[in-house]
Amino acid sequence: MQYPAPIKTLIAKLAKLPGIGNRSAERIALHLLQADARLSNELAEAIRNTRAQIRYCTRCGNYSVAELCDLCNDPARDKSLICVIERANDILALEKSEGFKGVYHALGGKISPLNGIGPEQLRIAALIQRIKTEQPREIVLALSADVDGDATALYLVNEFKPLGVRVTRIAHGLTVGSTLEQSDEVTLARALEGRKEL
Ligand SMILES: [Zn+2]
């Protein structure tokens, strides 16, 4: 049976979401049709609002509704400890582990010569500026444990050397090759605890 065009479009869009295959997309689309119309409207509005209202914190790159995010504004966070991650999603993963009480700096990715991403495309200059102004006592690198993550860590360590700041990298252990997002809370908390000086 062929679905009418709007349903087909909806299924195709839903199937583009992570973790949702064609079968699930079909189920969700049909559910939306059968459920109260409010659900569809509220879902559409929530997606639109999120895209319209969420921006990146100008200091750390976290998701935020204001210029500075909640973490940067939180007086209880240890501002002398900056954790460097690739993306804002990594902040959410580390926060869930509850193992880190410092602040963050999202690079926007990692150095990847094969994908044409060099240091100048990442928020590295902003990080160096931050280290100069905020004078943190430690920088924790929480980058993925792969070739690009290693290259990025090496580059950063060299950049940080003249700044005289202590640099550590989280122990990846079981998570080699995986991203922070894919790691569970306990593993991340342990990785943070076991971080090593570079
Ligand atoms: Zn922030």
Beta strands 138-141; 78-85: pairing state: parallel
Instruction: Locate 31 and state its tokens.
Output: 């559910």
Instruction: Locate 69 and state its tokens.
Output: 């995010």
Question: Tokens 């997309």, residue?
Answer: 25
Residues whose CB falls within 8 Å of the CB of residue 91, separated by 6 or more in sequence, listed in order: 60, 62, 63, 71, 85, 104, 106
Q: Is the pLDDT of residue 198 over 50?
A: yes
Sheet strand arrangement including 166-169: 102-106, 78-85, 138-141, 166-169, 196-197
pTM over 0.85: no
**CA triplet 169, 170, 175: central angle to 5 degrees?**
130
Question: What is the reported pLDDT for 180?
Answer: 74
**116-131 tens-digit pLDDT:** 999 999 999 999 999 9
- Residue 192 CA to ligand 1 centre (angstroms): 20
Strand partners, 63: 56
Question: What is the reported pLDDT for 174?
Answer: 46
**19-75 tens-digit pLDDT:** 999 999 999 999 999 999 999 999 999 999 999 999 999 999 999 999 999 999 999
87 band by pLDDT with thresholds 50, 70 and 90:
very high
Q: What is the 3-state secondary structure (H, E, C) of 63-81?
A: EECCCCCHHHHCCCCEEEE
- Residue 73 CA to ligand 1 centre (angstroms): 7
Q: What are the φ and ψ backbone dihedral angles of 117, each rounded to 5 degrees?
A: -105, 110
Entry field: residues in the chain: 198
- Residue 105 CA to ligand 1 centre (angstroms): 8
SS3 37: helix
- Residue 27 CA to ligand 1 centre (angstroms): 38
- Residue 19 CA to ligand 1 centre (angstroms): 28
Question: What is the reported pLDDT for 2?
Answer: 87
- Residue 51 CA to ligand 1 centre (angstroms): 18
What is the mean predicted confidence (pLDDT) over 103-109? 96
CB atoms within 10 A of CB 159: 16
User: Tell me, what DSSP letter sits at residue 4?
Assistant: P
Q: Is the pLDDT of residue 173 over 60?
A: no
Strand partners, 141: 84, 169
- Residue 57 CA to ligand 1 centre (angstroms): 5
**130-166 tens-digit pLDDT:** 999 999 999 999 998 888 999 999 999 999 989 999 9
User: Tell me, what DSSP letter sits at residue 112?
Assistant: B
